[in-house]
Amino acid sequence: MKKITHLTVVSVALLLLSACTPGPQPAVVWKFNTEGPIWNTPIIAQHSVYIGNHHGLYGVNRNTGEKLWEVQCGEQVYISPHSMADDLLYFGVRGDHYLYAAKAQTGEVTKHIDLEDKQVILPPITANAVVYYATNDGMLHAWDSQSQTVMWSTDVSASLDSSISVADDTVYVAGNWQGELLALDTQTGAQRWRMKTNHQGASKAIVVDGILYFGSSDGHLYAVKAQTGEEQWRFRTNGPVDGISYTEGTIYIGSEDHHVYAIDSATGKQKWKFKAKDKIVTSPLSGKGAVYFGSLDGHLYAVDAGTGRQIWAFLTGGPINSSPVEADGLIYFGSDDGYLYAVAPPS
- Of residues 5 and 84, more confidence is placed in 84
Return residue ranges of the chain for CATH 2.40.128.630: 36-155, 237-347
The fold of the 36-155 domain, in CATH, is Lipocalin (2.40.128)
Say which range, 21-30, 229-238, 243-252, 294-303, has the weakest mean pLDDT: 21-30
List the CATH code of the domain at 237-347. Answer: 2.40.128.630
Average pLDDT, the chain: 91
Beta carbons within 8 Å of 283's beta carbon, 6+ residues apart = 41, 203, 204, 242, 243, 244, 245, 252, 254, 293, 323
Asked whether residue 84 carries a pLDDT value surpassing 50, the answer given is: yes
Asked whether residue 5 carries a pLDDT value surpassing 70, the answer given is: no
Q: First CA to last CA across the chain, in angstroms?
A: 43
Q: What is the mean pLDDT of the segment spanning 316-324?
A: 98
CA 228 to chain centre: 25
Give the pairing of strands 77-78 and 67-72.
Answer: unpaired
Query: CB–CB of 140/173 below 8 Å?
Result: yes
**Secondary structure in 3-state letters for 2-50:** HHHHHHHHHHHHHHHHHHHCCCCCCEEEEEEECCCCCCCCCEEECCEEE
Q: What is the pLDDT of residue 4?
A: 34
pTM of the model: 0.91
Q: What is the pLDDT of residue 202?
A: 85
Q: What is the pLDDT of residue 296?
A: 98
Give the pairing of strands 163-167 and 170-174.
Answer: antiparallel
The 10s digit of each residue's pLDDT in 9-62 is 333 333 333 334 357 899 999 999 999 999 999 999 999 999 999 999 999 999
Let me know the angle formed at the C-alpha of 203 by 197 and 208, rounded to the nearest 5 degrees.
Answer: 90
Q: What is the pLDDT of residue 22?
A: 55
- Of residues 20 and 182, more confidence is placed in 182
Q: Count of H helices and E strands in the chain?
A: 1, 33
Q: What is the pLDDT of residue 20?
A: 41
